Structure 1
Amino acid sequence: MNDPIFHMVADAPIPVAPFSHAVETNGWVFVTGQLPIDPDDDSAPLPEGIEAQTLKVFANLQRVLSSLDLGLEHVLSARVFLTDFYTDYEAMNAVYASYFPHDRRPARTCVGVTGLAREALVEIDFIARRPTSRPFNP
C-alpha cells in the first residue's frame, strides 16, 4: 500500500477549515466537499440561488480534479448536502445531471443538513478513481 498523498490545489478555493483539497491513495482520490466560493476572490459573496451555487461548486470540483489530471469521467461516487432539501432538490438535480452522461452517473447520496460553511446552500464531494495506466506524477 502506498502512502497517501495530501493535495493542496493552488487555484482552488481557500479551505474554510483545516483540510486538504483531496487525498489520494492507491489510485483512489477523495475530493473534499466544495462550496460555491469564488476561488479568485475569497471575500466575494456566494452566488444567489441553488442553480448558480451548484454551477460554482462543480467548477471548483473540476479545478481540483483537473489539477490531479482527472476529470468527471473518473468520479465514481458523490455526496450532496443541501440546506433546503425540499426547495432546492429538483433544481440542484437539473444542474447536477448536466455534468454526467445519462449512462455514466456516479453513485450518489443526497441529504438535507441544518447548515453549511459560509451559509452555502449546497456542498458536494467526490470519490474518484485514477486509471491504473495513468499514475499521478506531480
Structure 2
Amino acid sequence: MIERGPRPVAPFSHAVEADGWVFVTGQMPTDPDAPDAPLPEGIVAQTRRVMDNLAIVLGGIGLSLENITMARIYLTALERDYAEMNATYQSYFEPGKLPARTTIGVTGLAVGALVEIDLIARR
C-alpha cells in the first residue's frame, strides 16, 4: 500500500511487484486528500484524476508513468467518452512513447466512476 495513495474501494494492494514487473490495481477518480468528496464531473476531469492517482502509486514505489508497459482502460460510456479520454490520457506521455493499451466498454464501475485504469509497469 502507498501511504499517500488513494483509499481503496475494495480489499486490494495499490501495487504488487514480482521480478521487476509491477501490477497496479485499477485506480478510480477519487481524491486521495478527500476520499469522500464527490467525483470530478466529466470524462476529462475523471481521466486526469485517475492518471494523477496512478502517478502517485507509481511514485510511491520509485517509478513514474515512463515505466508503464501496458494499460487497460475501462469506460462506462465508450462511444461518448472514448475520444476525450484518449486526448487526456495521451497528454501524460511523451509523443511516440505510449505504452501498449486496451480499452474496454463496461456497464458499470465502482463508486459510479466513468473511467478506471489499471496497468503493468517494469522497474
Unmatched tracts of structure 1, length 5 or more:
1-7, 131-138
Instruction: Report the Cα distance in structure 2 between the residues aligned to 1:15 and 1:97, rounded to whole angstroms.
Output: 25
Identity %: 61
Instruction: Report the Cα distance in structure 2 between the residues aligned to 1:105 and 1:42, rounded to whole angstroms.
Output: 29
1:51 counterpart (44, 50, 54) = 44
Q: CA deviation at 1:102?
A: 2.1
TM-score by length of 1: 0.88
| Larger-gyration structure (1/2) | 1
Aligned equivalent of 2:53: 60
Q: 1:102 is aligned with what amino acid? A: P
TM-score by length of 2: 0.98
Instruction: Report the Cα distance in structure 2 between the residues aligned to 1:118 and 1:124, rounded to whole angstroms.
Output: 14
Aligned equivalent of 1:122: 115
Q: 1:16 is aligned with what amino acid? A: V
Aligned length: 123
Instruction: Report the Cα distance in structure 2 between the residues aligned to 1:52 and 1:59, rounded to whole angstroms.
Output: 11
Instruction: Report the Cα distance in structure 2 between the residues aligned to 1:50 and 1:85, rounded to whole angstroms.
Output: 11
Unmatched tracts of structure 2, length 5 or more:
none
Paired residue secondary structure (1:69): coil
Aligned equivalent of 2:85: 92
Q: Does 1:42 align with 2:6?
A: no
RMSD of the alignment, in Å? 0.5
Instruction: Report the Cα distance in structure 2 between the residues aligned to 1:116 and 1:128, rounded to whole angstroms.
Output: 23
Paired residue secondary structure (2:103): strand
Which deviates the most, 10-19 or 85-94? 10-19
Q: Does 1:23 align with 2:23?
A: no
Aligned equivalent of 1:133: none
Paired residue secondary structure (2:13): coil
